[in-house]
Structure 1
Amino acid sequence: MSNTDFQAAVKQEEAYLRQVHPTPEDIPGCMTLFDDFLLCNVLGAQVKSLYRFGRMSECKHKMEDFKFCMSLKSMHPEDKRDAWIRRRAEWWAHKRLAKSSENIWDVRKEPLQNWPPPSTSNDVDTVQRSGTIA
């Protein structure tokens, strides 16, 4: 990932987050972030992560979000919103540009040739006789 790609992704994410969170009241409070951290550690979330990814949930980033929020307490609400949006935009940009468990397939530019294979009269006869595809 190049720095240019990352900076472009951050700008896109910031623009989106500014629309989603137009006022300082729209960003999550510190207690909400602390609740998110606690919910990450409950048994159900851990089991779901173990099932989906084969490992326990890593909740450290949620605690870091809470600590970051606490460090902004003395700031003006608009400055606090800007700092929060910048941090979230960088997080989303990293997530967008990094590999993930969803990156297992290559996107095709064109459909496969000769797929599905054309059926033959032999296939139709087999289905009619047995009721199943051979």
Structure 2
Amino acid sequence: MPSVDFETATKQEEARLQKLHPTSEDIPGCLTLFDTFLSCNVLGVQLKSLYRFGHMSTCGEKLEDFKFCMSLKSMHPDDKRDAWIRRRAEWWAARRLEKSSENVWDIRTEPLKNWPRSADEMDINGSDAFS
């Protein structure tokens, strides 16, 4: 079970993305997003997805990113950046909170207690005194 809720994860991702994209020029343009959508449909990408995951790559999210970008064309660049960051933060937050094959460990919120172990907790042979 995730240790944070969706809104907290979204705020964390927004803060990270604001540092990663400090100005409106740092977010991708609509042409770049359209190119990303087109490259998703290339035969090589589709075959790799079929081989790795057993299904064709779905490119709908990339098309939605392009359409979202086009809907922001009339906005002020700073407002456009904020809207784009919010959308990407929600995507990353949802990805963080759903189950994935990449979920191996839970993120620690505090350091381990009694780590590293002191020398007297180890015996002469180098094995743990706890084993």
> 1:1-134 to 2 correspondence within 5 Å?
5-103=5-103
Structure number, greater radius of gyration: 1
The TM-score with structure 1 as length reference comes to: 0.73
**What are the superposed Cα offsets for residues 107-133 of structure 1, whole Å, 9 maximum, x if unpaired?**
7xxxxxxxxxxxxxxxxxxxxxxxxxx
* RMSD, matched Cα: 1.7
The TM-score with structure 2 as length reference comes to: 0.75
Once residues 96 and 55 of structure 1 are traced to their aligned partners in structure 2, the CA distance between those partners, rounded to angstroms, is: 22
What is the letter of the counterpart of residue 16 of structure 1?
A: R
Structure 1 unmatched runs, 5+ = 108-134
**What are the superposed Cα offsets for residues 17-56 of structure 1, whole Å, 9 maximum, x if unpaired?**
0000000000000000000000100011111111111110
How far has the Cα of 1:102 moved from its partner? 3.1
How far has the Cα of 1:106 moved from its partner? 7.0
**What are the superposed Cα offsets for residues 39-74 of structure 1, whole Å, 9 maximum, x if unpaired?**
100011111111111110000000000000000000
Structure 2 unmatched runs, 5+ = 107-131
Identity, in percent, stands at 74
Once residues 76 and 16 of structure 2 are traced to their aligned partners in structure 1, the CA distance between those partners, rounded to angstroms, is: 22
Between Structure 1 and Structure 2, how many residues are aligned?
Answer: 105
Runs of 4+ in 1 over 6 A off after TM superposition: none
How far has the Cα of 1:89 moved from its partner? 0.1
